[in-house]
Amino acid sequence: MADTLIKVDLSQSAFENDMIHNRWHPDIPMAVTVKPGDDFILECVDWTGGQIKNDDSAADVRDVNLSHVHFLSGPVGVEGAEPGDLLVVELLDIGAFPQQQWGFNGFFSKQNGGGFLTDHFPQAQKSIWDFEGLFTKSRHVPGVRYAGLIHPGLIGCLPSQDLLNTWNAREQALIDTNPTRVPPLANPPFPATAHMGRLKGEAKAKAAAEGARTVPPREHGGNCDIKDLSRGSKIYFPVYVKGAGLSVGDLHFSQGDGEITFCGAIEMAGWVHMKVELIKEGMSKYGIRNPIFRPSPITPHYNDYLIFEGISVDEAGTQHYLDVHVAYRQACLNAIEYLTKFGYSRAQAYAILGTAPVQGHISGVVDIPNACATLFLPTEIFEFDIRPNANGPTKFLKGDVDVPLAPDL
């Protein structure tokens, strides 16, 4: 059995674990060191560090402190890794802890986090998902049960100082175009709640002042939230610092493409068993600027889908030019409207799209002025027939439109 190199205690604050950090900075010391060819296990807290509880109120989602996220386990130093190499990471297995067989999905309040459909769902709401081996179901969203495509939402290597400076400069320039926007355009460094692993004193203060937030995906990978980066996949990461400094967290039991609910997929604490190798000077050999990966040979197998189309004309009827963000939003809203005909509340339908193995595709981006995005909803995850037929939909559920899942009370 592989060694567990980083352990977490779910009853302890993540700030007290010096093998965890919540910002990106090259000065964060390696928590552990491994050799190419080693396999090992890292344990992870959930992305919020345990702020969200298994109960029926969304007050915790409404009041979540987003400056704490994401709590990452690492960095793992790899002997011999140098800038310009590729770090090859094979995700051998991923799991939840036996004592915590559940995860959460939520929508942030528009005032604290927002999300893809925040104008339609401005209130915080939450659903709890129980795990049954490979499968998950929710007391808040009846009528669906599906196999999880378990994956880390966030994984990547430490940036160099140059790369970090680039990130901070370009994101601040974006914030400066509308500094008072709610939700904000991006999140600048926020030293007050920075957790920099083992860094202490002045060195910590300096790094915390410029440590990049973990929210966006960047050149190193990071918070990509790619559902297909699941157990069994192999990822090729650019290396920017000596030792690479691999960190991982934000484990998801399952997620739809886009992670549209933002808080988030089915979020969970758990463990990752991984193996690392190096490809010396691999970045230039293969022309790699962002990570690439190979998928798992084992994925949930759904054959039948209802596929919803969306175009880049927004809810007010305004024409946008080839805007895939607007188009995907329309595809999602069309799927939500459809699911309400079976008795789901709009919030329950949104939760399904955020958590189930829903596929999102950019189907067309050249047919001016409309982009076409498609959302693939697997029909086999439902415990009843959701396909259209001549008799019209039968209400299988007695949900009320716009009744919150677990409200923010």
Least distance (Å) between residue 249 CB and Zn ion = 9
Cis peptide preceding 216, ω within 30 of 0 = no
User: Nearer Cβ to Zn ion, position 115 or 264?
Assistant: 264
Q: How far apart are CA 70 and CA 67, in angstroms?
A: 8
- From 77, 153, 249, 354, residue interacting with Zn ion (rule: CB under 5 A): 153
What is the footprint of Zn ion within residues 364-403 (CB under 5 A)?
none
Per-residue contact track with Zn ion, 216 to 255, x per CB under 5 A? ----------------------------------x-----
What is the footprint of Zn ion within residues 162-201 (CB under 5 A)?
none
User: Nearer Cβ to Zn ion, position 42 or 163?
Assistant: 42
Least distance (Å) between residue 101 CB and Zn ion = 18
User: Nearer Cβ to Zn ion, position 143 or 148?
Assistant: 148
- Which range, of 8-16, 92-100, 149-157, 213-221, touches Zn ion by CB under 5 A? 149-157
Least distance (Å) between residue 91 CB and Zn ion = 16
User: Nearer Cβ to Zn ion, position 149 or 241?
Assistant: 149
Q: How far apart are CA 118 and CA 108, in angstroms?
A: 8
User: Nearer Cβ to Zn ion, position 163 or 263?
Assistant: 263
The answer to whether 9 and 56 have CB atoms below 8 angstroms apart is: no
Total residues contacting Zn ion by CB under 5 A comes to 4
Q: Quickly count: other Cβ atoms within 10 Å of residue 393's Cβ.
A: 17
User: Nearer Cβ to Zn ion, position 48 or 312?
Assistant: 48
Per-residue contact track with Zn ion, 100 to 139, x per CB under 5 A? ----------------------------------------
Least distance (Å) between residue 119 CB and Zn ion = 22
User: Nearer Cβ to Zn ion, position 264 or 357?
Assistant: 264
Least distance (Å) between residue 265 CB and Zn ion = 5
Nearest to 163 by CA among 207, 224, 212, 199: 212
357: contact with Zn ion by CB under 5 A: no
First-residue to last-residue Cα distance in the chain: 45
User: Nearer Cβ to Zn ion, position 153 or 378?
Assistant: 153
Least distance (Å) between residue 94 CB and Zn ion = 13
Helix axes 201-210 and 161-176, enclosed angle (nearest 10): 50
49: contact with Zn ion by CB under 5 A: no
- Whole-angstrom CA distances from 39 to 2, 71, 275 are 6, 22, 4
Least distance (Å) between residue 256 CB and Zn ion = 12
- From 49, 115, 211, 264, residue interacting with Zn ion (rule: CB under 5 A): 264
Which residue ranges make up the site for Zn ion (CB under 5 A)? 47, 153, 250, 264
